[in-house]
Amino acid sequence: MTTAEPKLQRASALRAIRTAMVEKKLTQLQLADAADCHEKTIQNLMHGRSVRDQTLFDVCMVLGLDYQRIKEDWFGAMAAAQPMDLKGEGGVVAPVYMGAYTRAGVDHYLGSYLTLRPSFTAPETIVAYRTDIVWDPEWPSLLFEERDRPDAPYSHRGRLYLPPSSMFIHLVSLTKGAMRMVLVSQIDQSGEMRGLITTLNKQRASFIPVAAPIVYAQRKDFAAIALGEIKPGHETYDAYRTLLDATTSEGYARLVGFGG
């Protein structure tokens, strides 16, 4: 592939980014500040040069763009769909502060997961989306990325921390000091992980802390899987509710309150 070809295939992504910047009245400097990167990085991006996945993700979150679509336009559909662990082994041991786990030791975590949690705003509604977990050879560790969320601009991307002496693991995303943590059980033989999500949710004019049960269920094919806001009466609601209720009924997590 010549140097001109990558820039040509990125034209559609760049048009979407430029249009969003105009709509939000953001300069390159302001976008760099909001995406927590150097202005030179944004300049490289605007010229169609190579940038890190994380930079592209942060820019999409700031501009309210569909990261998966921009990623496909940027790298090409085939490359964007390729799991990162197939791009080269790179480092094979995560940093000590992340659990010092090895690439070979966490192979069973790699894949895509049906992710279920209660809606923070709509009673009796389940939010279902996809989470991909891959190995990042550039920063040796497991990397998770949320896809197909009904509220796509709030999708998260982060790292997995696996304490060697714990039965639970942490999925942590951190952007400009804002941290979201998901604490779930280690993956079982059924390919499931259950626990709690703690995050901020927009309530009217402000964001407030919320916590809720969450479950990750490994799936190979998402073609026939219902995603989005699943309400009572939907054909998959009862099955999803059973999976989600097991988080607390089977002792994977406990929500504590006064009088509870």
Give the residue numbers spanning the domain of 177.
96-249
H or E element in which residue 58 lies:
helix 53-63
| Mean pLDDT along residues 9-13 | 85
- Confidence (pLDDT) at 88: 33
| Mean pLDDT along residues 169-177 | 85
Q: What is the CATH number of the domain that holds 61?
A: 1.10.260.40
Q: Are residues 185 and 59 in the same domain?
A: no
Structure tokens given for 104:
């070979």
Q: Are residues 141 and 241 in the same domain?
A: yes
Q: Are residues 68 and 100 in the same domain?
A: no
Please indicate whether residue 250 or residue 174 has the higher confidence score (pLDDT): 250
In this prediction the pTM is 0.72
Binned at pLDDT 50, 70 and 90, residue 130 comes out as: very high
Q: Are residues 106 and 200 in the same domain?
A: yes
Give the dihedral sign, CA 249/251/256/260: positive
Q: Are residues 68 and 155 in the same domain?
A: no
* Residue 63 C-alpha from the chain's centroid: 17
Q: Which one of 54, 81, 108 terminates a domain?
A: 81
Q: If you compute the radius of gyration of the chain from its CA atoms, what whole number of angstroms results?
A: 19
- Confidence (pLDDT) at 51: 86
- Confidence (pLDDT) at 90: 52
Q: Are residues 101 and 227 in the same domain?
A: yes
H or E element in which residue 233 lies:
none
Least confident of 3-17, 142-156, 181-195: 3-17
Number of domains forming the structure of the chain: 2
Q: Are residues 103 and 68 in the same domain?
A: no
SS3 of residue 174 by DSSP = strand
Residue 89 belongs to a domain: no
103 contact partners, CB below 8 Å, separation of at least 6: 85, 89, 91, 92, 93, 135, 140
In the chain, what is the straight-line distance between the N-terminal and C-terminal CA atoms, in Å?
A: 62
Q: Are residues 103 and 30 in the same domain?
A: no
